[in-house]
Structure 1
Amino acid sequence: MSTLQIWLAILGMTFVTALTRALFLLGGERTVLPPRVQRMLRYAPAAALAAVVLPDVLATPGGLSFAPSNHEFYATLAGLGWYVWRRSMLGTIVFGMVVFTVLRLAL
């Protein structure tokens, strides 16, 4: 890839990002999203987080792994369980890291 292509790609991505974000701002208060779209957008952060975290947790050099040696996956499940039970973000992080460390040292 040439330097020109890299700069064109950066400029193109900048333009597309600015345009998609500006569309909501340009409409101002006149723009009202339908209630159904508003309900769907409530799940966007969780969906984005899952899309970023799950491949990183499940991917290994040999492909997707649910094996007991995949400590990250089971620590993530433990952290998720903690969050569902206690609704504490700090507790989720601490509990997930403790489970990860115990699995890493024990197995």
Structure 2
Amino acid sequence: MTYDWTLWIVFILIGLATTLPRGSFIILGERASLPEGLQKALRYAPAAALAAIVVPDVVLVGGVVEVLNPKLAAAFAAVLATQVSRNPWLPFIVGMGVLLGLRHFL
């Protein structure tokens, strides 16, 4: 199998494109700071990324939104358990209990 030299250039460019922006904040330190508005917006990035991954799996069943969805009911129960108690294990227990119960009966 022969490899073209352009493949190596692409690898190097992709590596630089991912490393330079991250490394620039380490190297430049305080001299390169993000604007205050962008810093405030970036605080919500992890929650937004997690929601973008989880919500479609919870809401959709076979690509269609269903009202009687065991995953949606379990997620609602877990959120409700979070609001009622400060116990970090309770949402997992309640959510899995509702999910397994509804899957068994539906």
Alignment TM-score > 0.5, same fold:
yes
Deviation at 1:13, TM superposition (A): 5.1
- Give the CA deviation at 1:67: 2.6
Q: Deviations over 1:38-90 (max 9, x none)?
A: 221221111111001011222322x232331x211211121122223324332
The alpha-carbon distance between structure 1 residues 25 and 93, as it changes in their structure 2 partners (threshold 3 A), is same
Q: What does residue 103 of structure 1 align with? A: 102
Is the partner of 1:67 in helix, strand or coil?
coil
SS in 2 for 1:89: coil
Identical-residue share of aligned pairs (%): 36
Looking at structure 1, the residues matched to 18 and 64 of structure 2 have their Cα atoms a distance apart, in angstroms, of 31
Please, what TM-score do these two structures have when normalized by structure 1?
0.71
Q: Which runs of 4+ in 1 moved over 6 A?
A: none
Change (3 A) 1:80 1:13: farther
Instruction: Report how many aligned residue pairs link the two structures.
Output: 100
- Structure 1 Cα separation of the partners of residues 82 and 15 of structure 2: 36
Corresponding position of 1:22? 23
Give the structure with higher Rg (CA): 2
Q: Matched residue of 2:56: which SS?
A: helix
Tell me the equivalent position of 1:73: 72
Query: Do structure 1's residue 40 and structure 2's residue 41 form an aligned pair?
Result: yes
CA contact (8 A) 2:73 2:99 kept: yes
RMSD: 2.7
Structure 1 residue runs of 5 or longer lacking an equivalent are: none
For structure 2, which runs of at least 5 residues remain unmatched after alignment?
none
